[in-house]
């Protein structure tokens, strides 16, 4: 995993965390001002990991564990914002994944941080952005070449810490031995095309730390307009996760 402030921002408001032994990975991209964004992302990642590690210590993790991890993150961020006027209005995206020992991937997200899968050389996003831009695309109101699309980037329809309840999209899928997975903030996807991401994962994905650093470098080389964070997971074999999270 890797995270970088980028070439323009003064502060990194992204946070990432992994527990390789339990097959857990989580990433957050905070929002809400100078201090709030970083604080929201930090609290959300910590709360998510706390709940998931607690669940993993008692058995196999299930969809309800993941929902409760998002709920705990939401409560922590909202509570902190309510108690400190300087943090009011803060929130964060959150995408988390659990690579389970039964050969399945359990994942969920809120916001526009993404989870990608590279399988048989084909890259696809397993998450659908909770954003105004995505909603307008889906409704056929705009396309990729429409004027003003850049102004809609970052306008979220769901985020952790904003509403009393949070609704993550939760899913489970089967893993294949050669799969490569990527969790990332929009600081990567706004700078690097899907084809560029696919090329890096296809050539370097067997070495997750190297792939992660190369993706960060690409985003920065192409402008680095935002904080950029990535987690790369190579191979779904549960017995090898301890060495293949990067």
pTM of the model: 0.91
Rounded Cα gap, residues 210 and 77, in angstroms = 33
Count of structural domains within the chain: 1
CATH number for the domain spanning 125: value is 3.60.40.10
58-99 residue pLDDT tens:
888 999 999 999 999 999 999 999 999 889 889 999 999 999
14 phi, psi to nearest 5 deg = -95, 150
Q: What is the pLDDT of residues 197-244, one digit of tens each?
A: 999 999 999 999 999 999 999 999 999 999 999 999 997 433 344 434
Cα(131)–Cα(118) distance, integer angstroms: 23
Residue 181, strand partner residues: 117, 233
- Picking from 168, 177, 37, 39, the residue whose alpha carbon sits closest to that of residue 105 is 177
Residue 185 sits in which domain range? 2-243
Cα dihedral across residues 102, 122, 207, 51: positive or negative: negative
The number of C-alpha atoms within 13 Å of 71 and in the hemisphere containing its C-beta is 8
Q: What is the pLDDT of residues 122-163, one digit of tens each?
A: 999 999 999 887 666 566 666 655 545 555 566 899 999 999
């Amino acid at each position: 995993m890797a995270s970088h402030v980028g070439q323009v921002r003064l502060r990194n408001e992204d946070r990432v965390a992994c527990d390789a032994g339990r097959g857990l990975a989580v990433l957050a991209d905070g929002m809400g001002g100078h201090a709030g964004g970083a604080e929201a992302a930090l609290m959300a990642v910590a709360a998510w990991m706390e709940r998931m590690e607690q669940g993993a210590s008692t058995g196999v993790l299930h969809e309800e564990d993941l929902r409760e991890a998002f709920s705990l993150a939401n409560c922590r961020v909202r509570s902190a914002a309510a108690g400190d006027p300087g943090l009011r209005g803060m929130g964060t995206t959150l995408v988390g994944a659990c690579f389970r020992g039964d050969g399945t991937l359990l994942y969920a997200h809120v916001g526009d941080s993404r989870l990608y899968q590279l399988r048989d050389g084909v890259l696809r996003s397993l998450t659908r952005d909770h954003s105004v831009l995505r909603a307008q695309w889906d409704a056929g109101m705009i396309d990729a070449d429409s004027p003003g699309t850049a102004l809609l980037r970052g306008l979220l329809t769901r985020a952790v810490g904003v509403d009393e309840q949070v609704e993550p999209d939760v899913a489970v899928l089967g893993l294949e031995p050669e799969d490569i997975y990527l969790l990332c903030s929009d600081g990567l996807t706004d700078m690097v095309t899907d084809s560029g991401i696919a090329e890096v994962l296809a050539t370097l994905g067997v070495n997750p730390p190297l792939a992660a650093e190369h993706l960060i470098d690409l985003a920065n080389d192409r402008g680095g307009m935002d904080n950029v964070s990535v987690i790369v997971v190579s191979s779904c074999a549960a017995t090898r996760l301890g060495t293949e999270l990067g």
